[in-house]
Amino acid sequence: MSELQALAALRLHPVEHADDVWRPSPFHVEALYPAAERVIGSALEEARQSQGASPVGLAVRGIRGTGKTHLLGWLRERTQAEGGYFFLVGLLDAKGFWESVVISLLEGLARPSADGRTQLAAFLAKLAAETNLPRMKRREADGRSPLTRATLDELVEKLRLLHPRTGREQRDVARALVLLGAGDLGLQDIGESFLTCVAEGEPGERGRWGISGARPTPQEIVRGISRLLALTGHCVIAVDQIDTLLAQAGMTTSAEEGFSWNDRLVVERVGGGLMSLREVTSRTLTVLSCLPSTWTLIQKHATDSVQDRFREVPFLQHLGTEDRALALVARRFAVRFSELGFEPAYPTWPVRPEYLREATEFTPRQLLLDIDRHVQDCLKDGVVRELGAGASVPSVPVAPTEHDHAEVDALWAGLRSRTDQNPRLEPDSEDQVMPPLLAAGLAAWIMEQGPEAGAYRQDAPPSAKPALHARLRRALDERTEDEIHWAFRAISAKHHNAVLSRLRVASVAAGLDSAVPKRRLFVLRNGAWPGGPVTRTTVEEFEKRGGRVLPLGAEDLALLGALRDLLAVNPPGLADWLATRRPTRDLAVFQDALGDPAPATPAEGVSTPDVRSTPRLRPTPDVGSTPDVRSTPDTPSSLDTPSSPDTPSTPGTPSTPSTPSTPGRAVAPSPPAKPSTKPAAPPVIPVGRDLLTGTPTRLDLEALRKHAVIFAGSGSGKTVLIRRLIEECALLGVSAIVLDPNNDLARLGDPWPQPHHEAARAEEYLHGAEVVVWTPRRDGGRPLVFQPLPDFTAVIDDPDEFNEAVESAVASLIPRAKLEGRTAKTHRGQALLREAIDFYGRRGRTGLAGLVDLLCDLPDGLSTLDGAHKIAAEIGESLKAAMIIDPLFGGSGAPADPGVLLTPSPGRRARISVISFVGLQADDQRQSFVNQLQMALFAWIRKNPAGDRPLGGLFVMDEAQTFAPSGTMTACTQSTLALAAQARKYGLGLVFATQAPRGLHNRIPGNAATQFFGLLNAPAQIAAARELASAKGSSVDDIARLRTGQFYAALDGEPFVKIQAPLCLSHHPRAPLSVEEVLERSRR
pTM, to two decimals? 0.53
pLDDT in tens, 951-992: 999 999 999 999 999 878 898 999 999 899 889 989 999 999
Determine the pLDDT at residue 151: 96
pLDDT in tens, 749-783: 999 998 888 888 999 999 999 999 999 888 888 88
Residue 7: inside a domain, yes or no? no
886 and 899 fall within a common domain: no
pLDDT in tens, 415-441: 888 866 778 888 888 999 999 999 999
Please give the mean pLDDT across all residues of the chain: 82
Find all residues with CB under 8 Å of 932, minimum gap 6, and list them: 786, 787, 788, 812
Q: How confident is the model at residue 304 (pLDDT cuts 50, 70, 90)?
A: low
Please state whether beta strands 769-774 and 910-916 pair in parallel, antiparallel, or not at all (unpaired).
Answer: parallel
* Most distant CA pair in the chain, distance: 116
Residue 176: inside a domain, yes or no? yes
186 and 243 fall within a common domain: no
Residue 325: inside a domain, yes or no? yes
Residue 647: inside a domain, yes or no? no
Please state whether beta strands 696-700 and 684-690 pair in parallel, antiparallel, or not at all (unpaired).
Answer: antiparallel
* Boundaries of domain holding 1048: 683-784+895-1084
User: Is the N-terminal amide bond of 1062 cis, ω within 30° of 0?
Assistant: no
Determine the pLDDT at residue 639: 36
The rounded distance, in Å, linking the Cα atoms of 349 and 91 is 40
1006 and 1026 fall within a common domain: yes
244 and 218 fall within a common domain: no
Find all residues with CB under 8 Å of 426, minimum gap 6, and list them: 433, 492
Find all residues with CB under 8 Å of 434, minimum gap 6, and list them: 425, 469, 470, 488, 490, 524
Residue 107: inside a domain, yes or no? no
Q: How confident is the model at residue 459 (pLDDT cuts 50, 70, 90)?
A: confident
Q: What is the DSSP string of 660-700?
A: TT-SSSPPPPPPPPPPP-SPPPPPEEEEEEETTT--EEEEE
Q: How many CB atoms lie within 10 A of CB 758?
A: 21
Q: Which H helix or E strand runs over 288? A: strand 284-290
Residue (of 108, 303, 99, 107) closest to 219 by Cα position: 99
Is residue 133's pLDDT more than 70?
yes
736 and 821 fall within a common domain: no
**Structural domains of the chain, count:** 6
Pick the last residue of a domain from 317, 346, 380: 317
- 960, 972, 998, 999 from 965: Cα distances, Å: 8, 10, 9, 6
Asked whether 676 and 623 are in contact (CB, 8 A), the reply is yes
Residue 663: inside a domain, yes or no? no
Q: How confident is the model at residue 1033 (pLDDT cuts 50, 70, 90)?
A: low
Pick the last residue of a domain from 877, 894, 911: 894
984 and 1061 fall within a common domain: yes
Q: Phi and psi dihedrals of 802, rounded to 5?
A: -65, -45
Amino acid present at 1013: F
pLDDT in tens, 106-117: 999 999 998 889
Q: Cα 507 to chain center, whole Å?
A: 28
pLDDT in tens, 875-934: 999 998 888 877 767 665 556 779 889 999 999 999 999 999 998 888 888 998 898 899
484 and 565 fall within a common domain: yes
Q: Which of 89-93, 321-325, 537-541 is predicted least confidently?
A: 89-93
Determine the pLDDT at residue 64: 76
Determine the pLDDT at residue 34: 84
Q: How confident is the model at residue 12 (pLDDT cuts 50, 70, 90)?
A: low
Q: Cα 847 to chain center, whole Å?
A: 52
Q: How many CB atoms lie within 10 A of CB 203?
A: 8
148 and 267 fall within a common domain: no
276 and 376 fall within a common domain: no
Pick the last residue of a domain from 232, 257, 289: 232
Determine the pLDDT at residue 550: 93
According to the 3-state scheme, what is the secondary structure of 353-399? Answer: HHHHHCCCCCCHHHHHHHHHHHHHHHHHHCEEEEECCCCCEEEEECC
497 and 558 fall within a common domain: yes
CATH number, domain with residue 82: 3.40.50.300
146 and 216 fall within a common domain: yes
The rounded distance, in Å, linking the Cα atoms of 758 and 756 is 5
Q: Which of 50-64, 301-315, 327-341 is predicted least confidently?
A: 301-315
The rounded distance, in Å, linking the Cα atoms of 357 and 375 is 19
Q: Is 1039 helix (H, G, I), strand (E, B) or coil?
A: helix
pLDDT in tens, 499-554: 888 998 899 888 888 778 888 999 999 988 887 788 888 899 899 888 999 999 89
Percent of the residues in the chain that have a pLDDT greater than 90, as a whole number: 38
Is residue 616's pLDDT more than 70?
no
Is residue 30's pLDDT more than 90?
no
Tell me the H-state helices in 1-96.
3-8, 34-49, 68-81
Residue 945: inside a domain, yes or no? yes
Q: How confident is the model at residue 302 (pLDDT cuts 50, 70, 90)?
A: low
Is residue 78's pLDDT more than 90?
yes
The rounded distance, in Å, linking the Cα atoms of 862 and 871 is 13
Q: What is the DSSP string of 303-319?
A: -THHHHTEEEPPPB---
Q: Cα 901 to chain center, whole Å?
A: 40
Residue 623: inside a domain, yes or no? no
pLDDT in tens, 182-230: 989 889 989 999 999 888 877 888 999 999 988 899 999 999 999 999 9
The rounded distance, in Å, linking the Cα atoms of 622 and 516 is 27
Q: What is the DSSP string of 613-625?
A: GS---PPPPPTT-
Determine the pLDDT at residue 267: 76
245 and 324 fall within a common domain: no
- Give the residue with greater pLDDT, 529 vs 392: 529
Is residue 10's pLDDT more than 80?
no
Determine the pLDDT at residue 281: 94
Residue (of 201, 242, 228) closest to 100 by Cα position: 242
Q: Which of 73-77, 1011-1015, 1028-1032 is predicted least confidently?
A: 1028-1032
